[in-house]
Amino acid sequence: MNKEDLFIGFGNLDEDLLRRSEQGGRNMNKKRNISKIVKYGSIAACLVVVLGVGIGAFVKTSIINQEPEKTIVVDNTGVEENDVPSIDQERFIAIDTLLASADGSQSQQAMKGCKVQIDKYTAVYEAVASVSSEQLEKSMGKEVEANEETYYVSGHNDLQYIIRKTAGTYLLWKFMYFESDEYPFKDVLSLIYDVHSEQDIKEVYVKPSDVDNTDEGKALQLEIGNVSITDSDSITSLYKVLNSLTCYGPENWDRINYGQDDGGMLNAVRNGRYLTFSMANGCKLDSLKYTAVSGTFYEYGGVAYNELRKEQKDVIEEILNIDCSISEQQETEQRVSESEVNTEIQDAPADESTYQEARDYSAELTDLQNRITQAMINKELPFVTSCGIYDNPDRVKTVVNTEDEDLLAKLRAFDTTGELLEIVYSSRANGLE
């Protein structure tokens, strides 16, 4: 049988049979294609599973072997904690955490000073009671330029407090004044407190003077009360006045009149205010005092400032809620009284030597009262609650709240004559007018 015979044979086949045969062949081809897809798809799925297991094992191994990144932040007490910021960001240490007893202990307070070169000034600092030397060493920031072993407190750009190494021990020091006959206070604000505008001041806390702690003095202090100033207009006015001040440094009591010539010191309380400026950078300027008696700012140790102009004085006293009308009336009455006394003296028959003795005695009384009052302000006589000159007989009378003979001996030492001072105990002071 040749090809032609086969061709003829196929031509004689039934058409329906041929159609079913052709359809069956196409179905078989489809089944072969599906088998191929299943076959190769299964292989691909296996590869995916194998690769997934391998990758998972690799990632797991990497995580196990990788050391966690260490970030350390030191809080205000110097205790290490896990959490965050950039390692090149200097940690901020609050000054309160460095003062005495902040860490449960207290170093001995060294009442001594040191000098630090700041810009064109020599700044005088005083050592303050603080935490341990070890804790201060951990709280140091950058070194103060041009000063060896002298450091900012960590996180601070101000120089109100510094940490300084002396004889192998770290001490905390607080700014007192510049060593100069006079200097603009704006330099203190900018160089020491890092204050350059009124926006750098958050709050001004004001309380009455406490130079008279008799019952009457305390009652007056309570009546005046404490005030917190936060409004921007008042703070701006205060800043402008402070920025205009000239400071004359310490031991300038002759420039300061805060009412100390008033026997009961009530005038000093009525006209005196103690101010604490809280700065946006965390500083507190807590040494400034104001008296409306002379219209001046001053500090402990006789650090004196220039008298304010009348317009400045009026603005400051309105902000500080000081009413001078009572004291002015008292001054008028005092001038009338002094005039009457002088007239009586002039009319009295006495020789010149008697007048001279009276003047000398009066000068001694005034000097003694001023020296004791300054010691009270400097906190050298904390047990003395008031001091004044009284008549009949003429004496400097001081009211004290202690009977400790060692303390009283310290007070008596101010009276070198032994005749000018009279001590009254607070429990017996009811009759003291």
Q: What span, in angstroms and rounded, lies between the C-alpha atoms of 28 and 53?
A: 38
**What's the chain's Rg over C-alpha atoms?**
43
Looking at the DSSP bridge assignments, the partners of residue 118 are 121
The tokens describing 115, both together, are 């000098």
Q: What span, in angstroms and rounded, lies between the C-alpha atoms of 390 and 397?
A: 7
- Residue 50, pLDDT score: 44
Instruction: Print pLDDT tens along the chain (433 aa).
Output: 554 454 445 455 555 544 555 555 555 554 455 455 545 555 555 554 444 545 454 444 444 444 444 333 334 444 333 333 333 478 999 999 999 865 545 444 545 789 999 999 999 999 999 999 999 999 999 999 999 999 999 999 999 999 999 889 999 999 999 999 999 999 999 999 999 999 999 999 999 999 888 888 999 999 999 999 999 999 999 999 999 999 999 999 889 988 876 555 888 899 999 999 999 999 999 999 999 999 999 998 899 999 999 999 999 999 999 987 654 445 555 555 555 545 554 555 555 565 556 666 677 888 888 888 888 877 888 888 878 777 656 788 888 888 888 888 888 889 888 888 888 886 544 333 3
Q: CB–CB of 208/220 below 8 Å?
A: yes
- In this prediction the pTM is 0.59
- Residue 152, pLDDT score: 96
Q: How many CB atoms lie within 10 A of CB 382?
A: 12
- Residue 374, pLDDT score: 81
Q: β-pairing, 72-74 with 272-279?
A: unpaired
Q: Report which DSSP code applies to 76.
A: T
Q: β-pairing, 227-229 with 272-279?
A: unpaired
Q: Which of 128, 114, 239 is nearest to 179 (CA)?
A: 114
Q: CB–CB of 124/176 below 8 Å?
A: yes
- Residue 285, pLDDT score: 95
Q: Which of 188, 167, 165, 168 is nearest to 176 (CA)?
A: 188
Q: Rounded to the nearest 5°, which phi and psi values hold at 314?
A: -60, -40
What type of residue sits at position 433? Answer: E
Q: CB–CB of 231/203 below 8 Å?
A: no
Q: E strands, 13-132, where?
A: 72-74, 80-82, 113-118, 121-128
- Residue 178, pLDDT score: 97
In the block, residue with structure tokens 């009052």: 373
| Residue boundaries of the structural domains of the chain | 90-178, 183-327, 361-433
